[in-house]
Structure formats: C-alpha cells, structure tokens
Chains A and B, each alone.
Chain A
Amino acid sequence: MQFGIFSVGDVTTDPTTGVTPSEHERIKAMVTIALKAEEVGLDVFATGEHHNPPFVPSSPTTMLGYIAARTERIILSTATTLITTNDPVKIAEDYAMLQHLADGRVDLMMGRGNTGPVYPWFGQDIRQGIPLAIENYALLHELWREDVVNWEGRFRTPLQGFTSTPRPLDGVPPFVWHGSIRSPEIAEQAAYYGDGFFANHIFWPASHFQRLIGLYRERFAHYGHGTPEQAYVGLGGQVFMRKNSQDAVTEFRPYFDNAPVYGHGPSLEEFTSQTPLTVGSPQQVIDRTLSFRDNFGDYQRQLFLMDHAGLPLKTVLEQLDHLGEILPVLRTEFAARRAPGVPDAPTHESLRLEKVSS
C-alpha cells in the first residue's frame, strides 16, 4: 500500500499570526514539503493544478521535474491534472518528458476542475465537463500507446500522422488515477480502462463515496480487469496530530475555524465525526485511517492533505515527522488486514515487468 501527501497549493493567511506567505514562499514551501515527504518515508507526493488565485501550482510538471531532480525514490503525481482544459496532446508530451526525467517515478490523477470561469480561459465550457474528460482522456490514452495517431474528435483540431514525443519511458505509459467526487461517469471511465479510481473523500461523509467506489469496483470486474476486490482504489484523508489529543485540537482549531475551505459551517467536532478529518493523537490517526478500509475495502493508495488552511511550513514539517513515525504501524496493520490476491498500486517498475513478461 502506498502512503503519500497531496497539496492543493493554496496561499492562505495564517489566522494565528496574520502572516500570508508570498507566492514565492508558498512554491518553495511545497518543494520543501515534497522533499520532506521522501525523507520521512512516504511513497507519493502529488500536487494540485490550479489556474486562479489563491493557488500557486499552475505548472505541475515544472514543479515535479524540479522535485524529481532532488529526490530518489518518491513517486510524483498530481491531484489533479485537468483533463478538461488542458490539451491532451500537451499532457501526453509533458508527462512523458517528466517520466523520463524522473526515471519512471510518475503517475497522474485526472480531474475535471469545478471552477466554471476557468474553462473559458482555456477555450472550454464547464457544461461540457464530462464529454471533455471522456474524449480528451481517450485521446491521451491513445497518444501514449500508439506511435502514430490519426484522430478526430469534437473538442480539438484533428490529428493526422501525429507522434507524441518523447514516447513513454520503456514503452510504459504512466499509470492513471481518475478522481471524482460525484460523477458515476468517471467511475465508469476508470473501470473501463482498468485505471485507478481516487475518491478525495476529505470533505464528505463516507457513505457518499461507498456508492461511487462500489460502482467502480463492480464495473472494473465487468470490463474484465479482475475481481472487484482487485480494482485500484485511492483515498484522501487529512490529519493533524500531536502527542496529546487535546493539544492537537487546541492548536488546529483556529485554522479550522478560519480556513475558507472548511466553510465556517459545521464545528470542528461535527466535521471530525462526519468526515475523515482526524485531529488528535497519532494513535487516533492510525485507528481512523484503518477504518477507511472497513468502509471501502482493501485499497492501494492513501494520500493525506497536510499543508493547507494557512498552517506554517514549520508546523507542516512537524506533522510530516509525526506521519513518518506512524507510517510503519500503518503499513504493518494494513498489510495484516489485506485479503490475499489484492494487488499493489501499479508502478512504472511493475508495469514494465508486466509488459516484458507479456
């Protein structure tokens, strides 16, 4: 099982000090956080992609390429890559290039993006979100698998005799996850291709995602990729830990109460009881994270949101230390519970070996 972190890349004022990081500071902080993730033993760092303030990561492959050069082991991913407003041709090129530079330590998570005004900035229309996601991904999938592509669709100019370069490293396209918070069409899409399905369930109750993940597993089997239990599921989570549970609550509360992302609606207590947000001791985080498996079955990737809501870099790095400390327990406990026959998340190496053996 893979454990990692995903960053939205928001620039948010620290409500306890009133300090707002500059874009430059936030970008550098994201890099520091990614390096720290590798240092504490995490498997994945994923960056968001946004094209509007207060978010900084508009150019994920630039950032991930830089991180790739400064890391050895960690998988670099996205959360998410906008399959709707990016040209699939450019995604094919950019991520294949990144894959070469990072020696295969790359996968992607596709997402649609839910901010209406962003679409027209890239010549698109949010009302076409699902058709864009379907058509663009179909093209991306083909570009990574066929050396010469002739293609015609609804949303971009036709391609004649086009070869996307560089070709994927070792002829193995990066593994793809599809992220969705409410669309059965995307669960169906992930199932059709035998790709992974990521449920960023951090702001919603589990029941909401049980239906989507259930559908994805069932359709994954329908399309002949394996049993429902063998489907590739990833989940989001968010945690804040201190040795003493009450210290964690006291320290995190002002961030919770003020961060726009939590909406100034439900209280911290309501939020932690109704969503995966866990604020407490390391043991509480372990217990809560293990409970995700009870809700969704054995899964392959757990990403935590750690650097948001205006938390200062120093605190985030301390949190990553805590996460690193409980990681061995999480690994052992998840492994002990896992049913036989459930595969790991595909990596470049596993996909390469699969390709060689077939």
Chain B
Amino acid sequence: MKLVVVSAGLTQPSSTRLLADRLAASVATQTDVTVQVLELRDLAVDIAKNMVAGFPSPTLGDALLAVAEADGLIVATPIFTASYSGLFKSFFDLVEHEALTGKPVLIAATGGTARHSLALEHALRPMFAYLHAVVAPTAVYAASEDWAGTDLAQRIDRAAGELAELMVRSPAPAKQTFIPFEEQLAALKEKTD
C-alpha cells in the first residue's frame, strides 16, 4: 500500500518532519507500505502560483496526484496562530475535489507549547471531515517538552496502528469518474415528480 506523508514544517531540519517520519516509520512496522514524503516548504512558491494561475506546476501536480492516489495519508503541520499553517491549508485547498473521500488520514501537529494541542481537534479534524476523509481517532501533538518524554512514542504507535488498520480495513474507494447521463436526467426527473 502507498502511504503519503505531507509535512508542512518550515525549518530544516523541522520537528514537524521529525514527527511525521516517526509516525510513518511506526506505520511501516505495523503494515506493508511504501512511503513517499512531500515537504510543502519545497512546494511553497508553486502553491502560491497555483493559487493565482489556477493550475499546478509539474512538480506540484505530481504531489497532488500522489495525495489523490495514496492508500493512506499522514499529515503534519506546525500550529501557527492557533491553527494549521497557511501553507498546509493552501496545499489542501488545491487537492482535487473529492480526492480524499474515504481516505484514511492520520493528523499530527507540533508546537512550542502544549496549550495548542487541541488545534488538532478544532482545526484539522473538521477540515478533513469536510473532505470526507476517514480520520484516525488518535491525533498526535508534539510540544517542545514531549520530545524529552516517553509518552510521545506510545501515542505515535497507537495512532500509527489506527492508521495501519484503517488502510487495511477500509481502502480508499475507487473514484467514479462520471455519472451515466441517463442517471443524471433521471435524478432531475425524480425531483420534479
């Protein structure tokens, strides 16, 4: 199965990427996956250009396609101003409509203080619910102090286990590319009658 990791960390190295990598490694120990990592910082300029021009550069197009074709996603963002980063949101604004429908997603975030941990629940989870993704129950937040503790590893394994199970159990549905015309006409007719 294909696992795609989307990391919106801005620095190099970044703690967001570190968290994403640990989640991916844990998934890989629990099920059979190939991992592809997308660093949004490398795509930041292309994302902005797509916003104004309406089409992606070839590199960004490949990244968007990878997300659409993934069997599961790990998405990780730093928490900026009480929510996901603008870059993170902008990237998902460009993902094709319905591309995440039914797709297993593990949400993760990093921040300087534990006080922002619920941003995962009030910002990321609703966003992916809106996109009709299947979001793993455990979201993983890593504050500065977590990197020194032992709890983080357990949460990582638990969340990764949930994603692995979702990927095995409920593979993302094949996309229907069109609705046969008779059905489109019939649907209108039904509402008329």
- Do A and B actually bind? yes
CB-defined contacts of A189 to chain B, threshold 8 Å: 181, 184
Interface code B148-169, partner A: CB below 8 Å = 1, 0 otherwise? 0000000000000000000000
Instruction: Say whether chain A's binding surface is mostly helix, strand, loop, or mixed.
Output: helix
Tell whether A185 pairs with B184 under 8 Å between CB atoms, given A153-B192, A154-B191: yes
Given the interface pairs A203-B53, A263-B53, A266-B49, the reply to whether A185 lies near B191 with Cβ below 8 Å is no
Instruction: Say whether B48 contacts A265, CB under 8 Å.
Output: yes
Task: Verify if B130 is at the interface (C-beta below 8 Å from A).
Answer: no
Q: Is B57 an interface residue (CB 8 A)?
A: yes
Render B182-193 as a binary contact track against A, CB cut-off 8 A, 1 for contact.
001101100110
Q: Which residues of A contact B191 (CB under 8 A)?
A: 154
B56 neighbours in A (Cβ, 8 Å): 205
Render A253-290 as a binary contact track against B, CB cut-off 8 A, 1 for contact.
00000000011111000110011000000000000000
What sequence of 0s and 1s flags, for each residue 44-84 of chain B, a beta carbon within 8 Å of any chain A beta carbon? 00001111111111100100000000000000000000000
Query: Are B177 and A184 within 8 A (Cβ)?
Result: yes
User: Which among A208, A219, A264 is the interface contact of B178 at CB below 8 angstroms?
Assistant: A219
Q: Is B173 in contact with chain A by the CB < 8 A criterion?
A: no
User: Any chain B CB within 8 A of the CB of A19?
Assistant: no
Count of interface residues, chain B, beta-carbon cutoff 8 Å: 23
Question: A312 vs B43: C-alpha distance in the bound complex, in angstroms?
Answer: 37
Q: Is the CB of A135 within 8 A of B188?
A: yes
Give CA–CA (A266, B54) in the complex, Å. 10
Chain B residues with CB under 8 A of A138: 185
Q: Is A316 an interface residue (CB 8 A)?
A: no
Indicate which residue in A154, A263, A266 contacts B57 across the interface (CB closer than 8 Å): A266
- Is A25 positioned at the interface, with any CB of B under 8 Å from its CB? no
Closest CB in chain A relative to B66 CB, distance in Å? 14
A292 at interface by CB-CB < 8 Å: no
Of A204, A215, A219, the residue contacting B54 (CB under 8 A) is: A204
CA distance A271 to B49 in the complex (A): 11
Number of A-B contacts (CB under 8 A): 69
A–B Cβ pairs within 8 angstroms, 5 of them: A138-B185, A154-B191, A185-B178, A188-B180, A265-B51
Q: What 9 pairs between A and B have smallest CB-CB spacing?
A: A263-B52, A265-B52, A192-B181, A265-B53, A184-B178, A265-B49, A263-B53, A204-B55, A188-B178
Contact in complex: B178, A187 (CB < 8 Å): yes
Q: Is the CB of B188 within 8 A of A203?
A: no
- Are the CB atoms of B184 and A274 closer together than 8 Å? no
CA distance A188 to B180 in the complex (A): 7
The reply to whether the CB of A349 lies closer than 8 angstroms to some CB of chain B is no
Report chain B residues within 8 Å CB of A134: 184-185, 188
Q: How far is the CB of A142 from chain B (nearest CB, A)?
A: 12
* Chain A residues whose CB sits within 8 angstroms of the CB of B49 once the complex forms: 263, 265-266, 270
- A59 interfacial by beta-carbon distance below 8 Å: no
